[in-house]
């Protein structure tokens, strides 16, 4: 069963600031955040990666870029747990990136000071791998991932996957207020 909740983009500014529950846990927000949400329209059925024709691939990617809609969202509620999860993933990403770079730098310095050594390949390669992997935790800590939301394919609505019932109830209440009593 699809329990996704769609909030029309036109209603966002009327609805979101009135919602006092986080989308994932249904808890009161400790902070409100603003972010940009990108739609991810499906690529044409012919797989871009498998296409041998570079010009056709480039054309299709440009076509795809035109279909991507970016929605600005402001005052989205985040509870303490959501905020903590986000901080944690961003910390892991920073440790991966800077720790990886520090390992590489350390291996380079050790090589200059102590000369060539096979053992230095371990921190060198490990550091490069850590730095390359750092976008993964960064994505895990991104707001759309934390609140499990995306825009609909045509960009007309923000879709929240598996929203907490209390969040959904507040959105519906705010939605009705917005439609029946325009401010």
Nearer to Zn ion, 81 or 156 (CB): 81
Smallest distance, Zn ion to C-beta of residue 72, A: 21
Nearer to Zn ion, 81 or 166 (CB): 81
The H or E element containing residue 75 is: strand 70-78
Nearer to Zn ion, 21 or 150 (CB): 21
Smallest distance, Zn ion to C-beta of residue 81, A: 5
Smallest distance, Zn ion to C-beta of residue 143, A: 12
Smallest distance, Zn ion to C-beta of residue 171, A: 15
- CA 62 vs CA 48, 59, 70, 73, 174: distances in Å: 12, 5, 16, 25, 38
* Nearest Cα residue to 101 out of 132, 58, 147: 132
Smallest distance, Zn ion to C-beta of residue 159, A: 17
Residue 13 CA from chain centroid, whole number = 20
Buried b (16+ CB within 10 A) or exposed e, 101-118: eebbeebeeeeeeeeeee
Give Cβ neighbours of residue 52 (< 8 Å, ≥ 6 apart). Answer: none
Nearer to Zn ion, 79 or 92 (CB): 79
Nearer to Zn ion, 82 or 130 (CB): 82
Query: Rule CB under 5 A: which residues touch Zn ion?
Result: 22, 24-25, 79, 81-82
d(CA 120, CA 111): 7
């Amino acid at each position: 069963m699809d329990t996704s909740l769609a909030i029309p983009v036109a209603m966002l500014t009327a609805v979101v600031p009135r919602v006092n529950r986080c989308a994932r846990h249904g808890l009161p927000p400790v902070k409100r955040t603003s972010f940009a949400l990108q739609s991810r329209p499906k690529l044409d059925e012919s797989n871009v990666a498998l296409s041998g024709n570079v010009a056709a691939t480039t054309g299709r990617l440009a076509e795809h870029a035109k279909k991507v809609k970016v929605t600005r969202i402001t005052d989205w509620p985040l509870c303490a747990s959501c905020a903590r999860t986000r901080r944690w993933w961003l910390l892991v990403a920073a440790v991966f990136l800077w720790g990886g770079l520090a390992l590489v730098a350390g291996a380079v310095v050790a090589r200059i000071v102590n000369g060539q050594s096979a053992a230095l390949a371990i921190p060198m390669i490990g550091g490069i791998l850590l730095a390359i992997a750092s976008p993964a935790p960064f994505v895990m800590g991104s707001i759309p991932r934390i609140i499990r939301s995306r825009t609909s394919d045509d960009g007309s609505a923000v879709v929240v996957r598996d929203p907490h019932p209390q969040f959904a109830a507040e959105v519906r209440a705010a939605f009705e207020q917005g439609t029946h009593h325009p401010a």
